[in-house]
Amino acid sequence: MSDIRVLVVEDEPIAAAAHAAYVGRLEGFTLAGTAPDGQSALRLMTDFAAAGTPVELVLLDMNLPDLHGLDIARRMRAAGLFADIIAITAVRELNIVRSAVATGVVQYLIKPFTFATFSDKLASYRLFRDQLASPAAGQAGPGASQSDVDQAFASLRAPSELPLPKGLAASTLESVQDFMKLQSGAVSASEVMDALGMSRVTARRYLEYLADAGTVTRTARYGAPGRPENEYRWTRPAS
Amino acid sequence: MSDIRVLVVEDEPIAAAAHAAYVGRLEGFTLAGTAPDGQSALRLMTDFAAAGTPVELVLLDMNLPDLHGLDIARRMRAAGLFADIIAITAVRELNIVRSAVATGVVQYLIKPFTFATFSDKLASYRLFRDQLASPAAGQAGPGASQSDVDQAFASLRAPSELPLPKGLAASTLESVQDFMKLQSGAVSASEVMDALGMSRVTARRYLEYLADAGTVTRTARYGAPGRPENEYRWTRPAS
DNA sequence: CACCGTTGCGTTCATATTGGTCATGGAAGG
DNA sequence: CCTTCCATGACCAATATGAACGCAACGGTG
Q: Are residues A147 and B157 in contact, defined by beta-carbon separation less than 8 angstroms?
A: no
pLDDT at B16: 93
pLDDT of A128 over the 60 cut: yes
Q: What is the spatial distance, in angstroms and rounded to an integer, between the CA atom of A174 and the C1' atom of D4?
A: 22
Q: Which range, A69-78, B15-24, B159-168, has the best average confidence (pLDDT)?
A: B15-24
Closest in A78, A102, A159 to B150, CB measured: A159
pLDDT at A57: 94
Which alpha helices (H) appear in B30-114, and where do they start and end? 38-50, 69-78, 94-102
pLDDT in tens, B56-115: 999 999 889 998 888 898 888 888 888 899 988 876 676 777 788 888 888 888 777 777
Q: What is the spatial distance, in angstroms and rounded to an integer, between the CA atom of B161 and the C1' atom of D14?
A: 17
Distance CA A38, CA A72 (A): 6
Q: pTM of the predicted model, to two decimals?
A: 0.73
Q: What is the spatial distance, in angstroms and rounded to an integer, between the CA atom of A205 and the C1' atom of C12?
A: 36
What is the enclosing helix (H) or strand (E) of B207? helix B200-213
Sequence-distant (6+) residues with CB within 8 A of B135 are: A94, B144, B148
pLDDT in tens, B173-186: 988 988 998 888 89
Q: Which range, A75-89, A191-205, B80-94, has the best average confidence (pLDDT)?
A: A191-205
Nucleotide closest in space to A218 (CA vs C1'):
C19
Distance CA B113, CA B15 (A): 11
More confident residue, A162 or A175: A175
- Strands of the sheet with B216-221, listed across from one edge: B187-188, B229-234, B216-221
More confident residue, A161 or B22: B22
Nucleotide closest in space to A170 (CA vs C1'):
D6
Closest in A80, A94, A143 to B181, CB measured: A143
Residue A166 neighbours by CB distance under 10 Å: 5
Residues of B in contact with A139 (CB under 8 A): 175, 178-179
B window 178-207, beta carbon within 8 A of A: 178-179, 181-182, 196-199, 202
A window 9-68, beta carbon within 8 A of B: none
B104 and A102 in contact by Cβ < 8 A?
yes
pLDDT at A139: 39
Distance CA A125, CA B52 (A): 36
> CA of B152: which chain A residue's CA is closest?
A157
